[in-house]
Chain A
Amino acid sequence: MTGAERTVSGGGRIRVRVRRQDAADAPETRRWEEFSIERRPRMTVVSCLRRIQRQPVTADGRVVAPVAWESGCLDDSCGACTMLVNGRVRQACATQVDAISPKGEPIVLEPLGKFPLVRDLVVDRARLFDSFKRVHAWTELDGLSALGPGPAYSPTRQRELLSLGGCIACAACLEACPQYGNQSDYLGAAALNQVRLMNLRPLGALNEVERLETVMAPGGVADCGKAQVCVEVCPANLPLVDSIQQVARATTRRLILGWLLR
């Protein structure tokens, strides 16, 4: 690395290494490509990727296809741009270059490893949404007509619902969980958090039992290994570990009492 590349924010260049592959069924196209990008203040990883789109030329001068990646809001609220940045799962749009490469260290971008690859940095996170289906993550409604407001509930409950409802479906908690992956059908923290959220809603609670049954099935809450990485990586700062324990408590109660009641 040259001296110029070492300068901190606002000058010099930054090296971005990207793990690429043209398609899931084209493993022979798996490769690394390195780009050298002009460094600008307040740059994010998404800025880097956009620069690559506009100038798809590798550091050694080859013209290549722009890197494919997913994005949406660009302000850390839609969950689209999740990828591995220097090995760790992050939202690319909210990852400041200055924070991860203060001295001009190269940045390494890879797709999430636990989901089927589509192309380059794009993966298919359908399994996350399927898990929401599995746990019945919705409120049963009698329809859309004017049936008046829902039941009243306390401001304290509202705070709780508000914070639990902040999931942006990015799947970071799944990617980083050592229990999650192809080897198991563990639902993962996001879906368990949904269970707690739905059961806390006054109307959602009407289906509490069914929902608990879904997490007492294979891949349910008991598969959590308490690694607690999920809560560290969640970009929405959800109290995932609390949620898992709350759901665990509810299933314990059901395991013991449900037995007697049945």
Chain B
Amino acid sequence: MNDRSARSDRAKLRRAIVVGAGIAGLMTTLELAEAGIPVLLVSLGPARRSPSGTIQSGLDAAVESGGDEPRLHLDDTLVGGDFLAPQPPVRSMTEAAPRLVELLDRMGVPFERSPEGRLARRRSEGSRIARASFAGASTGQHVLAALDEQVRRLEVRGVTDEHGVRIPGERLVLVLEPFEFLGVVRDDRGACVGVVLQDLRSMRIKAYPADGVCLATGGARALFAPGAGEPLSTGSAAAAVHRQGAALANPELIEVCPTAIVSDDAAYLIGDAARGEGGRLFAPKDPREARRPRDIPERDRDYFLERLYPELGNLVPPDVAARAVLRAAAAGDDPAGSALTSEGECPVYLELSHRPAHVLEARLGRVLTLGEKFADTDPRAEPLRVTPAVSRTLGGLWVDYEADDSGRIVVGSARNHATSLPGLYAAGGVAAQYHGASALGGNLILADLYGARLAAASLIAYRAGLARSAFDSPSSLFERAEAAERSRYEEILGRSSGREDAENPFELKDELGRALLSDAGALRDDARLYALLETIHALESRLGNARVTDTATRMNQSAQMVRQLGNMLVYARALAEGARARAECRGAHYKSKHDPRVTPGAVGRDDARWLRTTLALATGDGEVRLVRELDYELGGRTIHVTDAVDTRWVAPRPRELGEAERTRRRAPEES
């Protein structure tokens, strides 16, 4: 075998495996396939159904015109993320952004047009300059569809070997769906040589060899309730490889979307597109306001974001907006605001009705639909009541990068997007890299795409350096991994013999979601985090008593839930431990104890001690260990990394967002 061979010594087609068919997974697949590498793409469901399709924000890309340039985009991103993001990858991402937007344009994403027919732009949260290309308020959907189309095109394309000869019966991209990723297969030196998958229709478990694996399984939003039923964002895959040794980075970080329609058991997120299009947030000045929102005259409305942040106004970074909403909802006094679980006393509204209906219809169709379908409100005519909700986890699998002396990413280095398990790469929402402590809307899709591109290049380099193809590894490796997962599954099924006190896994998951929301949501404190760790511990032992009432052999979603929940608890523990440890306020991670506005003398963001990445490793017994540095193997080398954040481009500075002097709103007792 040489590094270019399409086939291994045993004449097997050397596929790489991409797990997850969201924006990141599809882009990785396309990049690999373009390099001629056959791909096995695995996903829980059809690509079109992936969570990244719900992203409403556009893609920020600074083209050198109108006073904009990538340097400013970099600055906005770093400020938005409260300087926790490593700067070389962010810098390279902002530089690559315009090319990525152009690529999507060629693929057919229907970006908004200028009168001249070129790309038109609007402002995203956290940026002063309009640099987002967007497709209505459903950019994610259109991007996902465009990538899906391209992958489908490759699904019918054949494979040629290094001599240009067609390999009969093979397709460049092979899709397995609905399949669940259970874990990686590692060889005796710890390298990742394949994955174990379960066919969710037949429930058959099988190991698949791979020369390079990339996880793109998205974030772990479903850890939090409501909306926790989301079956595609459990974080189970990340937790599974974490258990197998991959480090997590910043697992404690989450993003809180300031504007969501929250109902009994679902949260319908409204992204920054609405505010980018002119949407304004307000609270009635009088917390006991009895008039219908549309009847409240302008003078009785408090446009609190515009008042507090005259410069960015409604487009402050999401965590800032979310806390402001919570404070407003708590009617003035308590700067910590109410917890995310309860709607505050005082409703907060998103006003769009001042914008012409035809503009809203053309550019915010999705938001109008959400209002109409889930809040019985027509945003064209009436302000929409909103509540903050958890939109994603920001941390995830730790991934490496390699920067050159000039501080730019070395494209093609096998280190980029490498997890700490050799041969395993990660991109998209499952990996922590670009957002720091708060993710700006305009960077969501961008980071998915750029990360995927880089991860693919890396994987190609890794694959080229392989001395032996995974397809030539002893089959006993795969059989053992397969057998282990099978017996785990059998064990879960075996629990169906019911005891009276048996637990329902879905119920347990719901409890976990509610606990995380109240104790590790937008507003955190150490006592609650300790309580959360207790809860997680309790849930873990109750899970051992979980009963699977389902004995069927097809689509057994209960057994699947039990297994996923085991992983989710591991992730949740890392989240809680990380949150407990991080003794500061940074981005969406907020503890009132460290907020100088609440606790006099507190430092707020503590760059001296906490400008660093939380690195979490799993211990064998399900516990988590936070470390300051780690070593990992790659291509026969040992690479040493620490938790330091590379800040070589922009020196960290306080996140001055132009907050005006904190004027208290008219509190009830003062009136």
A and B touch in the complex (CB under 8 A): yes
Question: Interface on A for B, CB 8 Å cutoff?
Answer: 22-23, 40-44, 46-47, 50, 53-56, 63-66, 68, 70-80, 93-94, 118-120, 122, 124-125, 129, 132-133, 137-141, 143-144, 146-150, 152-155, 157-159, 161-163, 165-169, 198, 201, 203-204
| 8 A-B contacts (beta carbon < 8 Å) | A65-B552, A119-B554, A149-B102, A153-B117, A155-B112, A158-B113, A165-B145, A203-B106
**A55-B504, A162-B136 as given contacts; A75 in contact with B152, CB under 8 Å:** no
Question: Is A56's CB under 8 angstroms from B266's CB?
Answer: no
Rounded to whole angstroms, the CA-CA distance of A140 and B107 in the bound complex is 8
Question: Is B49's CB under 8 angstroms from A73's CB?
Answer: yes
Q: Hey, which chain A residues are within 8 Å of B549, CB to CB? A: 56, 63-66
Rounded to whole angstroms, the CA-CA distance of A40 and B369 in the bound complex is 22
Q: Hey, which chain A residues are within 8 Å of B69, CB to CB? A: none
Question: Is B552's CB under 8 angstroms from A23's CB?
Answer: yes
Question: Is B135's CB under 8 angstroms from A68's CB?
Answer: no
User: Using a Cβ cutoff of 8 Å, how many contacts connect chains A and B?
Assistant: 203
**A65-B550, A146-B102, A158-B112 as given contacts; A54 in contact with B369, CB under 8 Å:** no
| Residues 136-166 of B at the A interface (beta carbon under 8 Å) | 136, 138, 141-142, 145-146, 149-150, 152-153, 155-156
Rounded to whole angstroms, the CA-CA distance of A73 and B54 in the bound complex is 7
Among candidates A70, A76, A120, A122, residue contacting B373 with C-beta atoms closer than 8 Å: A76
The number of residues on chain B lying at the interface, defined by a beta carbon within 8 Å of a beta carbon of chain A, is: 78
Q: Hey, which chain B residues are within 8 Å of A75, CB to CB? A: 54, 266, 268-269, 370, 374
Among candidates A55, A77, A154, A169, residue contacting B113 with C-beta atoms closer than 8 Å: A154
Question: Is B107's CB under 8 angstroms from A50's CB?
Answer: no
Rounded to whole angstroms, the CA-CA distance of A162 and B119 in the bound complex is 14
Among candidates B156, B504, B552, residue contacting A119 with C-beta atoms closer than 8 Å: B552
Interface stretch of the complex, out of B228-236, B397-405, B411-419 = B228-236
Question: Is B110's CB under 8 angstroms from A72's CB?
Answer: no
Known: A162-B136, A169-B49. 10 other contacts (CB 8 A): A23-B553, A42-B263, A53-B557, A68-B554, A71-B231, A78-B54, A93-B266, A132-B149, A155-B115, A158-B110
Q: Hey, which chain B residues are within 8 Å of A137, CB to CB? A: 149, 152
Q: Hey, which chain B residues are within 8 Å of A76, CB to CB? A: 369-370, 373
Q: Hey, which chain B residues are within 8 Å of A78, CB to CB? A: 48-51, 53-54
Question: Is A77's CB under 8 angstroms from B138's CB?
Answer: yes
Question: Is A144's CB under 8 angstroms from B103's CB?
Answer: yes
The closest CB in chain A to the CB of B560 belongs to A68
With both chains docked as a complex, state the minimum distance between the C-beta of A176 and any C-beta of chain B, in angstroms.
19
The closest CB in chain B to the CB of A129 belongs to B46
Give the secondary structure class of A's interface: loop
Q: Hey, which chain B residues are within 8 Å of A149, CB to CB? A: 101-102, 105-106, 118-119
Rounded to whole angstroms, the CA-CA distance of A138 and B47 in the bound complex is 15
With both chains docked as a complex, state the minimum distance between the C-beta of A169 and any C-beta of chain B, in angstroms.
5
Q: Hey, which chain B residues are within 8 Å of A157, CB to CB? A: 113
Question: Is B110's CB under 8 angstroms from A165's CB?
Answer: yes
Rounded to whole angstroms, the CA-CA distance of A73 and B49 in the bound complex is 7
With both chains docked as a complex, state the minimum distance between the C-beta of B375 and any C-beta of chain A, in angstroms.
9
Rounded to whole angstroms, the CA-CA distance of A217 and B115 in the bound complex is 39
Among candidates A47, A70, A133, A150, residue contacting B106 with C-beta atoms closer than 8 Å: A150
Instruction: Specify which of A64, A144, A168 lies most central, judged by the most chain B CB atoms within 10 Å of its CB.
Output: A144
Question: Is B103's CB under 8 angstroms from A132's CB?
Answer: no
The closest CB in chain B to the CB of A93 belongs to B266
The closest CB in chain A to the CB of B156 belongs to A133
Question: Is B362's CB under 8 angstroms from A159's CB?
Answer: yes
Question: Is A80's CB under 8 angstroms from B554's CB?
Answer: no
Among candidates B46, B149, B264, B453, residue contacting A139 with C-beta atoms closer than 8 Å: B149
**A23-B552, A71-B229, A144-B34 as given contacts; A77 in contact with B106, CB under 8 Å:** no
Among candidates B49, B263, B552, residue contacting A79 with C-beta atoms closer than 8 Å: B49
With both chains docked as a complex, state the minimum distance between the C-beta of B121 and any C-beta of chain A, in angstroms.
13
Rounded to whole angstroms, the CA-CA distance of A207 and B366 in the bound complex is 30
Q: Hey, which chain B residues are within 8 Å of A146, CB to CB? A: 99, 102-103
Cβ of B498 under 8 Å from chain A? yes
Question: Is B550's CB under 8 angstroms from A66's CB?
Answer: yes
Rounded to whole angstroms, the CA-CA distance of A12 and B7 in the bound complex is 64
Question: Is A153's CB under 8 angstroms from B113's CB?
Answer: yes
Q: Hey, which chain A residues are within 8 Å of B54, CB to CB? A: 73, 75, 77-78
**Per-residue A-contact encoding for B581-593, CB less than 8 Å = 1, 0 else:** 0000000000000
Q: Hey, which chain B residues are within 8 Å of A122, CB to CB? A: 555
The closest CB in chain B to the CB of A63 belongs to B549
Q: Hey, which chain A residues are within 8 Å of B269, CB to CB? A: 75
Question: Is B557's CB under 8 angstroms from A68's CB?
Answer: yes
Q: Hey, which chain B residues are within 8 Å of A141, CB to CB? A: 106-107, 150
**A65-B549, A152-B117, A162-B136 as given contacts; A41 in contact with B268, CB under 8 Å:** no
Q: Hey, which chain A residues are within 8 Å of B49, CB to CB? A: 72-73, 78-80, 169
Cβ of B351 under 8 Å from chain A? no
Cβ of B188 under 8 Å from chain A? no
Among candidates A54, A138, A150, residue contacting B105 with C-beta atoms closer than 8 Å: A150
Cβ of B614 under 8 Å from chain A? no
Cβ of B610 under 8 Å from chain A? no
**A146-B99, A149-B105, A203-B106 as given contacts; A118 in contact with B227, CB under 8 Å:** no
With both chains docked as a complex, state the minimum distance between the C-beta of B372 and any C-beta of chain A, in angstroms.
10
Cβ of B31 under 8 Å from chain A? yes
Cβ of B533 under 8 Å from chain A? no
